[in-house]
Each structure stands twice: as structure tokens, then as C-alpha cells.
Structure 1
Amino acid sequence: MNQIEYDCENEFIAREEISLPRFVLNKAKQSASECCSSRGIWKIVQRRIPALRWIPRYKIADLVPDILAGLTTGIYSIPQGMSYSVLASLPPVYGLYASFFPPLIYFFFGSSKHSSCSLFSLLCIMVAKARTNILPDFDNGTTATEYKDLHDLTPISVTTSLCLLTGLIQLGMALARLDILVSYLSDAAICGLTFGAVIQAVLSQINGVLGTESHTIEGTFLHNYYKLYDICEHIGETNIATLIISIIVFTILLTSKYMIEARTIKKGVPFPTELIVIIVATILSHFCKFEERWKVKVVSEIKRGFSTPGIPRFDVMKYLIGNGISIAIVGFALTISFGKLFAKKHGYRVDPNQELLALGLSNAISSIFGVFPVCTSLSKTIVSEAAGARTQLTGMVSCVILLIAILWMGPLLEDLPVCILSCIVLVSLRSLLLKIFELPKLWRCSKLDVVIWVVTAIVTILWDIVEGLVAGIIIAILLVVTRTQWPRLYDLGVIDETQSDFREITRYGKATRLQVPIFRFDAPPIFTNIDIFKKKLRQIVDKLSEGNENGGYSCDLPQLKNWAPLILDCSTWIYTDSMGIEAVKDINEECLKSKVVILFANLRSSVCVQYHRAGLFSSMCDGQFYPSIRDALQIADRLKNDPTTMLNEDTCLSKFLSDLQKKMDDLSASNLKLPIFVARVNEIFLLRFVKVPGSDEKSSHLGSISSIEECDLS
């Protein structure tokens, strides 16, 4: 049966085409019905504040695991917050603030049970780049030349403005339902961006390890080259005591990571190496007078308690729009990626739009309390999950530990050497640096993804993170277009005897080529590839026509005498456009003139609807469309075996051939302009022949044949 008969027999239901005003009206009615009842309003509130839904259902059995996991995560957050704050080019105490306030807000609005909204290395690097672009780390604390209209700037005033801007952008994206945009940022682009950012972070921490000062301006093209040159130029100013301390700390941290923590993390309780190093180093620095005796730079004053809440500066935001957009997109991409990872592992779902809303609120509200942009912290989430976390109550317990540290432990850490925090940062970045060794595996899976990875990383290293992000998105989109612009046309053969499995002959040794050629165009015909589509099909049609004229085979393609049906597998045509529809119509007309009829098989219902609305079924034969290759083969075999007899016995086939001839008549009707007779044919199953009165000229739509019954229309 053909496609239309198949649809009728199985009661195909075409989706009703809805106009834009009606669509808006239906959505408005749906929203109004939800908001007009107390139950509907309560459902909306629960959907937007998930804590109201899961807290009443909280299981007592989860309480002890959540508390223990919260204690472990809270202890881990102290050194992580302080070191990542240095990575963001800010005083260490602000890292504690960023580890305290966002989890409190995410507790109420987040949809993930395990995600810990806190600091992530990539975002800290992006924050540092944005801050140092406006307020470089010069000894005199001056701003960059292009920002001279900004007065009384401090590092935290820049980062809090960036945090508020990032939160507002994310809230706007959530309200506009733009969470789908993150799909344009591929994993390869994120990995390349991360690697490039890590290279920048490593260069930014070398001065801390050596005890030297930075003399370069951030954000300029090739600034990392100039930074490396500056480090080498001032290598003679290295503080030997600072370097020795850094080497010792490096050795301790790496030994602990690979020998101790690798075993303890499996038991759910990670060994707090960083915290122990910070405590010991602070005690030694205090009693041995590191700063006074050897000029080792220390953290200095850390205020006890929280900083005074304040509204971020809006005059700075206009200079941070590009950074805010990139941080908002990257932060959400990381958050939803990590959230889905743990949700899949533990068997629940996360809502992308709700995650975007929770992240936006966490950033926007926390900016009042001196917090810089945050997202899901992968390391904290892993520690929390390994320690047995069941719900977001873990984050609340960890905030209690951080509250104690902020209120009472601040002054005790004033003698902590800064190089300790730089060493902790560098060791924590080692896993991201090692991502480059995954390129060979990625190359085997997808060479185009390697291109995205490398291009994004190179642009990020040579220029900056924002430019790297833009380059990653652009190259990913361009490669997607490239994949659809130059698809392949595969010659298919049958594998099983039931003729239900058709595969590429070049890839499957058991695939057998049938007498009727079967091809698959591995992309939907759209405006980007219609020229390739036409070109490849014309090559096939020319070979079939050549075989007809020579009475034999051409280029290993099986031929039928004087008639060549061609089956086109359309299973990969997931959508089409107006130019694609016109291309199908044009190539069909060209094929008919060359005595080749295309039989379309495996068309998706959505494409069939598009063809129907575009009038393609009325301009082509119904018998050219089939629900499967097997159905198309049955018609092709009938035509091949005995077309003359089949015309008399098979009314369905006769209708198809009559329709086909009618279409061919329409192609040349403008030239004939006369009634057309159906002539009896000996060697071809159907031909209409016309003899114009007063002329010996004969015309045939299907090409010349050897024997016909002439019909004089005079």
C-alpha cells in the first residue's frame, strides 16, 4: 500500500494548525484557569518554591545522613571558599560569604537534591578576569584607562555588581523560558573553554607561589603571553621563603590526594587535607613570624562577622554586560549539567527552568551581602554525595558550619600565607588540566568535537574567556550547519531475506544490492543542502539513463530495460522547508523526463503533513510515496516483472501508472495543447503518443521506443 492508503487504514490524525492569535488566547486561558483557584495558585507556588513540596514529605530516615554529609561539606567549604576567593582575585573571607548565602537561597528554590550552589573554579576565573579588566592589580590600585569615569572602586564593588547583573540576566532568561539556549553550548565548547580558563588561572597564581607582583593588564589580546613574559622577567625577585613553603605544601597536597584521599573518599568521609594544611601553616606563620622575618605575604586582616549589606553599584554594570552574559550562560550550563548528572544517578528529575530561576535568585539576592557570581560547585557536590547526602538539608547544615567560621574563626586566619591558598588552587585545578589527555578519545568519537574543543581553548588562551565562549558557540553552530550542508548519499542493500533490514553496502559485507536501486540521503533536504541533494540524485539518474540507452548496466547500478524505478529512503528527513519541497518537486520532474520514477519510502508523518500542505501530493503521484522500503519494492518488482499484464490485473497499480502519466502530460501540456491518447506499448508498460495534424513529428514523454501503435488525432 502507498502512504495515503497506509494513513487512511491506520487513521492518521494530522495536528490542527493553530494561528498565532488563537495560540496566545489558549495559553492565556490556561494560565487564567490555573490562577483563578486557590488550588491552582498553590500548585504554582509549590512549583516555583520546591521546598514547600518536599519539606512536608521529608523522611526521618534521611535526617542523620543529611546532617553527617552537611558537617563534612561544611568543613570542606572553609578552605575551598578561601582559596577560590583568591582565584577570583578577592580577599579570602568573601569566599566564605559566597559559600554561605547562595546555598541558603538555593535550599528553597532549587529542584536538585544534591547540587551545592557555591563556588566553581571556572566561574571564579571569569570573575577575576572581569574584575581585573576594570581594576587591575597595580600597586597603586588605579583603574584601567578606559574606566577613569568610575571613582572609589574596590574589587568587591566590581564583583558584587557583576553578581547582581548575572542574577538579573538569569532571571530574565528564566521568565522568557530561554533555558533552551544553553543547548547551543556543547560539552566540547565547555571543556575547551574550561581548559583555556585554567591556563589563565595557573598563570595568575604563579605570582602568589613565587611571592612576586603582577605588572600586566588583563583582557588585552595575547595578555597571557605578556603575563608569562612578565613572570620570566621578574623571576629574580622571587621570595625564596615563599617558594620553599609552596614546594612543601605542593608535596603534601599531591601526596595526600593520590595516597590518602583516594582511599577515604570511597568510605564517604574525605580527608580534610586542605583544612589541616591551613591550620598548621597559620600556626607556624604566627609563631615563626613569616611576614616579619622573611617578607612572606599573608592574608592580613579578616573581619569577624559579615560585611555590611549594600546595594551594588549600577554605574559599573554597563562595563560588565558582556561578562555578565557569559557568566550567566556558563554558570547555568554547568549547573544543569551537574544537576542532571546526579539526578540520573539517583533516579529523579530536575527542572531546567526552575534551576535557572534558583540560580538567578541566588546570585541577585546574595550580591547584597558581598557575594560574587556562583553556580553549582562540582567538588562540593561530589563530597556531599559521597558523604551520603539525601536532600538539600545537607546544604543548610553546611551553612551552620560556615556561620561558625565566619563569626569566630576569621581573625585566627590572619597570619595564613597567601601562597598556601595559591597552592591549594593549583592542586585543585590539576584534574581540569588533565582534560587535555581526553582529546585522543574524543578524536575517535567525533573529530568535529575536537575542532570545537581546540578552537575554543586557543581563543580563550590567546584572548579572553568571553571571546572564547563566543567562539565556541559560533564554531559549534557552524559545524552543525556543515554537517547538514554536505551529507552523504548511501547505496543500500538488504541484509535479511524478509527485506525488512536495509543497510549501507559499503559498511556491511552481508548487505546485498537488489535489482531496484535504493539510496538514503543522510540529512533532511533544506535550503543549506538542496544543491548537494540535486547534484547527487542527478548523478544517479544519469547512470540509470545511461544504462537504459546502452541496454545494460552502468557503474554497478542494476537497471531495468527501458524503465528505472529508484527508491529513496527518507527515514532521516526529520523536517524540511519550502526550498526543500521545491527541490523534491524539481528533481522528480527531471527524473520523469529521464524515464526514472522516484519512490519515496519511510517519510515521517510530520514531513508528510508539510508535503500535503504544500500541495506536493497533488503535483506528484500518490503511488510515489510508501510507508516502508518493502512496500516500495513490491510496486517496483511488479513493474519490472510484467507491467503489461499488471495493468489489466492490478487496479491500484493501474491507477498509479495513470496518475504518473497525467503528471508527465502536465509537464509538456504547454507544448502539445491537444487531447492525448493512451497508446498500446510493447516494450514499455505505458506511453502516450501524440501525432500533430499536418506534421510527421512524433512526441513521446517517456523517451523513444522500438514499437508502438500510432494514434492519429486528426
Structure 2
Amino acid sequence: MDDGLREGRAVMNQEDFDEKYGYHPPISTTCHRAKKAARKCIDPCTSGRKFLKAVTGCVPILEWLPKYNFKGYLVRDIIGGLTTGIMHVPQGIAYSVLSGVAPVYGLYSSFFPVLFYMIFGTSRHTSIVVALMSGIANEQIMSKYVTTTNSTMNATEDTTLTPIQVASTLTFALGMIQFATGLLRLEFLTDYFSDQLVAGFTTGAACHVFTAQLDDIFGLTVPKVSGPGYIFRVSLITSVVFDISQFTEIDFQRIYDIIIRIPHANVCTVITSAIGIAFLYVGKDFISPFVNKRSPVKIPIPYELILVGSFVLIMFAAISYLLNLNERYGMIIVGDIPAGVPEPQLPNISILSDCLIGAAGIAAVTIAVHISMAKMLAKKMKYKIDARQELYALGLSAMLGGLFPIYPVSTALGRTMVNVESGSKTQLSSLFSCLLLLTIILWLGPLLETLPMWVWFIAFISTVAISVVEGLAISIAVALLTIIFRSQWPKSATLARIPDTNDFKDPRKYTAALPCPNICIFRFDSALLFVNAERFKRSITEAMSVWELDSNVVANNGNPPDKNYLIIDCSCIAFIDYTGATALKEVANDARSRHVELFLAATTANVRQSLEVSGFFSTVSKKYFFPTISDAFHFATANR
């Protein structure tokens, strides 16, 4: 059995194995890659079928719409679209106010990008809304060009450059970055956004969103603040110590600031807020489950959200109008919402460079959240998405949307889940959502002018998360650090053979594995790079020292009684750089000084090619490379 392999072939080294089975080395020259890229570009034009496939790949709606299952999907998509559309109204207004533009622009932002994404996107369920983090970028650009501060809710602008012009140009710039990310094939970067990273990031972001809205639900006027730790940071101590005269002007921040102002809360706003929250709570946790238990048709979310959305919005807008809550009790209302669709116009090119800088951070966040959400839903619903096409879809939606007065958009996590739970099956649900919004934009917009501001907060808070640049940056940094640490301090093991098999396992985990006195088998569980090359050498030195001591392979006079072999299992070494190859040379020379012959087993073709480029074969001959550990082990056993 030791003279051959249990697989039924003779023992071979890597060269013999490659020659017998027709190995072709990989071609990776620049010319070859250029030809391959050119063929890929020309290939769609070689036949009508390939051209049609390329077109449907760029415009996915042309592929899935002709195959649409009207009988099975249409009713569900209508329900899901109308349900999501109802949420678009208060949340669109909410996000626009939070981002610093007039409420009507939130409706536009919930209409145009959604319509464009339906055409170009591959995710069947994602829903997008105004990106909150873009408000900061908008303010920074405005402060550079405008010296006066203008109200974004009701006041007119005194300058030629208005906040919505900045917003639409920022949207266009965001689309350019997202589209360029797809062109540069950078979608692989989204693989670094693990489920744990996204979950922790969005939960933390939800805390920022919640605290940002506490002042509105109590009807308080609290200065908006930002920066790291703004939720908990209080400047009381430092202000008192350095300037006691400014105690009354201290800029208390967020939670503390809200707590000390609660006695001044607007009673009418608090009461109506409590009624709205109670209504939502009873509807979600009691009415819907009660109805669904006794209904033969299970429609959990549509019933609840249509009831809450239509009843709360229409009823309280009417009450606010009839009772004149704005003037009588000082309750903040949404304000002017004009009817009609805006005309498209080109973005302001003069500020495009500044907008590109501001859009870079927004692009990172929106791409991270959108791709993560799309992948999660695709896995849950058992369909596939194209990450690169998603980048194109985001970019085109933003660039085409930037021709209208809208704000940068991002995936709304909570509303996307509502879309899923409402029963939506395809992006056609977005069409019905947009039709509802179009009706409001054209005819019903003015009816929402007296809507109390707390209503959009209640609808808004149902979206459990939105991203912030700082949180995402920290999350990504932590994720990258874990990858770096795992690469820099990988695990390794000395292997032994399980008798009567060709399996080699760690004897610390498998008691049946028995070491061979003259053969040391070492496995390194990582790519061999400059960051772990020293650890690789140190680990092998330690393994060989223990092996020599345990096996007593060296006689007292220093002459080995038999030939000794070091077999490195390279199956886990997917990549090796120049420093790693140099470290491997040093290991080979060190082994030779110990009268130990080095064999490399299960190396990939790419690793062997990298070793050849680095000149490694001048140190270790190709005949000492083996396709499997078994080949190397049996060869060493036969030549002891």
C-alpha cells in the first residue's frame, strides 16, 4: 500500500502529474488581458442573441417584464406598491425636512429615482428614499457659496444658488461616482460588509435617527448638532470651568438638551403624538394579528399600513386644518406643497467639483447599505442579483434623477422590509407606488400642507435605520482589521497520517493520526504574504524543533541516520507574494542545513507561477513539488 496511492495511480511529483494530465499554465500577460477585454466588448455584437442578452443585462426590466406572472404576482405587487406608496408620503416629507429642503422635494425624491431604479435594478424588493446623511454635505456646499442663512421650509432664497440646486447637483455627482464604481468593477468591495457589520452599523445608526427626532415629537426647538459622540456629549463642565458667565448660553447637546427642555414641550403636539403612537401600536400588535387569525386570506402588513397611513394622514391633516392647530396652538405643520411635476434641467456644473467631494462619503454609505440589503433579500427570497448592475442602477437612478429637483437617495431599510412583508414579488410594485405618488404630486399635494410634523416622525421612525458616514467608516475599519489580523497571525499545524488511509490530520484533534519519524508535515492556514512571512518561518522552525526532539531523528554525532523530509501542505496558501516566496526560500535553506529535504504539496497553479517568477525553482527543484500530500508522503517513505 505504501508503494502507491489508494486512488489507483502511481506516486508522482508535480512535474510528472502535469505532463501526464496535460497541464496548461495560466496566461496572464498584459497583451492577453487586453485581448480578453476587447473580445468581451465585441462579443455582444457578434450575433443578435448575444446583443439582446447584453441589452437585457443593462436594462433588466426588458428581461423580467415579458415573463411577468400576472396571475400570481399582479395583486401582490399592487398591494405592496400601494402600501409602500402610502409610506412614501410621510417619509418623503420627513426625510426632506430632515435634509434641509422643502417638503415637496421629498415627494419628488420618492418618485423619480424609484421609477428609474425599477428599470435598471435587479433587486426585486429594495425601496429607496432621501439619504439623510446628504444634508450635511448640502449645508457645507451652501455655506461656501452663500453667506446668508435661509430657511429651507418656507422662506424664499435670496441668492441665485438655492439648496435644492445644490441637492440636485449633489445627486448627479453621487450618480457619477456610483456608476464609475460599477465601470471600475469595484463591486467586490461590498464583500467586506459582513452581516454582523451591517447589523451593528444599522442598529447604531437607528439610535442617531431616533435621538434626532425626539425634539419634534415633543414640539421643542433644539439646536441641531453633529460630530462624533454628539448624542451624549455635554459641554456643561468645560463651559463652567473656563467661562462661568456663559452658563446660560451653553450648547447642551441632544439627549441632555431635550431633557432640560421637556417642561417647555408643546402640549398639543405631545397629545397628538401619543395618540398616533398608540394607534400604531394597537394596529400593529393587536388589530392585525386578531384579523389575520380569523381571516382565510393572510394579508398582514397591507391592512395595517393602509389603515394607519390613510386614516392618520387624512384624518389628522383634516383636524389640523379645521382646528387651525398651527395658529391656535403653535403646532408646527409641514407647510407649502405645490401641485405639479417639475421640468427637468441640467445640474449646476460650476459646483460639480465640490459636489463630487461631498458625494464620495455618501456614495460609500449608500452602496454599502443598498448592496447588503439587496444581497440579504435575494438570499432570503431565493433569487440572484447582479452587484455590478446594482451599481449601474444606483448611478443611473441618481444621474437621471439629478435632472429634477430631488435629493440624493439611499435604500430605506424599514420600508424595504415593509415591501417584502406586504407580499411584493417584483419591482413592478414600484410602478403602483409611483402612480400613487404621481396622484399626490399632481392633485393632492396641497391637502397635506396642514399635516402636523409629528405624523411624519411616526411614519419615519418605522424605518429602523439609516447610515452615517462616521459609523460606516469605523465599521469598515474594524472589519478590515479582523481580516488583517487573521492574515498576520494565521493558524498552523503539524499533520500526521491516519493509518491505512491517505488522510493527514492534526494529531492534537485526531488521536488515530500517527506521526512518521522521518517525515514532518506542516500546514499553514493562510496566504503567504509580507505581513505573515516572519510568522511562517518562525512557525516552521518551532514545528521542526519539536519534530526533531520527539522523533530523535538526529544522532548524537550530528549525522542523521536516515533521510528526513519536511512536507509543506500548501492547499491553504491561495496566494504568495515576493516576500512570501523569499521566506519559503529561507525555509528551504534552513531545512537543507538540518539535512532535511523540502517537499511542497498541493500548490495551486497561481502559487507555482508566482514562485517561478520569483526564482524559487533555483532553490527548490520542480521535482520536489507534488499534487497531493499523499504523493509527497509515499515518495518520501519509499526514499528514506
Q: TM-score range by the shorter chain?
A: 0.7 to 0.9
Look up the match of 2:598: 598
Q: 1:611 to 1:267 in 2, by over 3 A?
A: same
Which residue in the other structure is 1:631 paired with? 631
Does residue 451 of structure 2 align to residue 416 of structure 1? yes
CA distance in 2, matches of 1:282, 1:128: 27
Partner of 1:662: none
**2:524 corresponding residue in structure 1:** 521
1:534-590 CA-to-partner distances (Å, cap 9, x unmatched) read: 11212233344556779689xxxxx98555323322111001112211211111111
Residue number in structure 2 paired with 1:656 = none
Correspondence for 1:171: 179
Asked if 1:101 is matched to 2:109, the reply is no
The CA deviation string for residues 671-700 of structure 1, in whole angstroms up to 9 with x for no partner, is: xxxxxxxxxxxxxxxxxxxxxxxxxxxxxx
Q: Return the letter of the residue paired with 1:499.
A: T
Q: Which one is further off, 20-29 or 351-360?
A: 20-29
Structure 1 stretch 380-389 or stretch 403-412: which is displaced more?
Answer: 380-389
Q: Who is 2:278 aligned against?
A: 251
Secondary structure, in 3 states, of the residue corresponding to 2:390?
helix
1:227 to 242, 250, 253: 253
What is the match of residue 267 of structure 1? 299
5 Å-filtered alignment, 1:559-708, equals: 561=561, 563-639=563-639, 643=640
1:548/1:563 contact within 8 Å kept:
no
Question: Would you say the 8 A contact 1:534–1:587 is kept in 2?
Answer: yes
Q: Contact 1:304 / 1:410 at 8 angstroms: preserved in 2?
A: yes
Secondary structure at the residue paired with 1:477?
A: helix
SS at match of 1:227: coil
Does the 8 Å contact 2:211/2:231 carry over to 1?
no
Aligned counterpart, 1:669: none
Give the whole-Å Cα distance in 2 for the aligned partners of 1:133 and 1:294.
Answer: 34
Equivalent pair of 1:34/1:40 in contact (CA under 8 Å) = yes
Q: How many Å separate the matches in 1 of 2:327 and 2:151?
A: 30
Pick from 504, 507, 528: which aligns with 1:505?
Answer: 507
1:382 paired to 2:390:
no
Which residue matches 1:50? 60
Partner of 2:248: none
Q: Residue 4 of structure 1 aligns with which residue?
A: 15
1:209 matched to 2:209? The reply is no
CA contact (8 A) 2:520 2:547 kept: no
Q: Are 1:545 and 1:594, in contact at CA under 8 Å, matched by a contact in 2?
A: no
Aligned residue among 260, 269, 276 for 2:311: 276
2:366 to 331, 337, 341: 331
CA contact (8 A) 1:302 1:410 kept: yes
Asked if 1:77 corresponds to 2:88, the answer is yes
Indicate yes or no: 2:400 matched with 1:365: yes
Which segment is superposed worse, 284-293 or 609-618?
A: 609-618
User: Among the aligned pairs, what percent are the same residue?
Assistant: 32
For the Cα contact (< 8 Å) 1:322–1:466, is it kept in 2?
no
Structure 2: gaps spanning 5 or more residues: 1-10, 153-157, 234-251, 293-297
Pair member with larger Rg: 1
TM-score by length of 1: 0.74
Alpha-carbon distance, 1:166 to partner: 0.7
2:403 alignment partner, SS class: helix
Compared with structure 1, are the counterparts of its residues 198 and 157 closer, same or farther at alpha carbon in structure 2 (3 Å cutoff)? Answer: farther
Could you say which residue in structure 1 is the equivalent of 2:266?
239
Question: What is aligned with 1:118?
Answer: 128
Conserved? CA contact 1:250–1:427, under 8 Å: no
The one-letter amino acid of 1:629's match is: I
Instruction: Determine the C-alpha separation between the residues in 1 that align with 2:366 and 2:50.
Output: 32
Answer with 229-238 or 239-248: which moved more.
Answer: 229-238
**Distance of aligned partners of 1:45 and 1:547 in 2 relative to their CA distance in 1, 3 Å threshold:** closer
Q: Secondary structure at the match of 2:522?
A: strand
- Cα offset for 1:37? 6.4
Aligned to 1:532: 535
After TM superposition, give the deviation of residue 490 of structure 1 in Å: 1.4
Aligned pair in 2 of structure 1 residues 621, 471: CA closer, same or farther (>3 Å)? Answer: same
Report what 2:167 is aligned to. 159
Tell me what 1:709 maps to. Answer: none
SS of 2:314's equivalent? helix
Which has the larger displacement, 607-616 or 572-581? 607-616
Separation (CA, whole Å) in 2 of partners of 1:594 and 1:326? 55
Distance in 2, matches of 1:7 and 1:542, equals 34
Q: Name the SS of the counterpart of 1:370 in structure 2.
A: coil
What one-letter code is carried by the residue in structure 1 that aligns with 2:384? R
Query: Against the structure 1 CA distance between its residues 151 and 414, is the aligned structure 2 distance closer, same or farther, given a 3 Å change threshold?
Result: closer
Q: What is the distance in 2 between the residues matched to 1:368 and 1:224?
A: 39
User: Does the CA-based 8 Å contact 2:127-2:419 persist in structure 1?
Assistant: no
SS in 2 for 1:519: strand
Q: Which moved more, 1:470-479 or 1:483-492?
A: 470-479
For structure 1, which runs of at least 5 residues remain unmatched after alignment? 145-149, 434-459, 554-558, 644-714
Task: List aligned pairs for 1:18-37, cutoff 5 A.
Answer: 18=29, 20-32=30-42, 34-35=44-45
Q: Distance in 1 between matches of 2:590 and 2:274?
A: 76
The alpha-carbon distance between structure 1 residues 320 and 382, as it changes in their structure 2 partners (threshold 3 A), is same
Shift of 1:196: 3.7
Distance in 2, matches of 1:549 and 1:497, equals 21
- Which amino acid in the other structure matches residue 227 of structure 1? Q
Q: Structure 2 length as normaliser, TM-score?
A: 0.82
What is residue 327 of structure 2 aligned with on the other side?
A: 292
Q: How far has the Cα of 1:205 moved from its partner?
A: 0.8
1:379-434 superposed Cα distances (whole Å, 9 cap, x missing partner): 444334444433332221221111112222222222211122223323432xx59x
Tell me, in whole angstroms, the C-alpha distance in 2 between the residues paired with 1:33 and 1:622. Answer: 39
Choose 1-10 or 202-211, whichever is displaced more. 1-10
Contact 1:167-1:361 within 8 A present in 2 as well: yes
Query: Match of 1:368, SS?
Result: coil
Q: d(CA) in 2 for partners of 1:257 and 1:383?
A: 12
Q: Secondary structure at the match of 1:517?
A: strand
Checking the alignment, whether the CA contact within 8 Å between 2:80 and 2:424 is kept in structure 1 is: yes
DSSP-derived class of the 1:565 partner: strand
Distance 1:571 1:134, change over 3 A: same
- Is the Cα contact below 8 Å between 1:203 and 1:224 reproduced in 2? no
8 Å CA contact retained: 2:125, 2:426: no
Deviation at 1:598, TM superposition (A): 2.8
Partners of 1:258 and 1:65 in 2: how far apart?
Answer: 23
SS at match of 1:520: strand
Q: Is the 8 A contact 1:163 1:372 kept in 2?
A: yes
Deviation at 1:593, TM superposition (A): 0.9
1:393-404 equivalences in 2 (<5 Å): 393-404=428-439
Which letter does structure 1 place at the counterpart of 2:587? Answer: I
Quote how far apart the aligned CAs of 1:343 are.
3.3
RMSD: 3.4
Which amino acid counterpart does residue 19 of structure 2 have in structure 1?
Answer: C
Total equivalences in the alignment:
589
The verdict on how the C-alpha distance between 1:17 and 1:303 changes in structure 2, with shifts beyond 3 A counting, is: closer
Deviation at residue 98 of structure 1 after TM alignment? 1.8
Q: Contact between 1:167 and 1:360, CA under 8 Å: does it hold in 2?
A: yes
Partner Cα separation in structure 1 for residue 127 and residue 550 of structure 2: 68
Kept in 1: contact 2:171–2:406 (CA 8 A): yes
Q: Does the Cα contact within 8 Å between 2:340 and 2:442 map onto a contact in 1?
A: yes
Alignment-derived partner of residue 426 in structure 2: 391
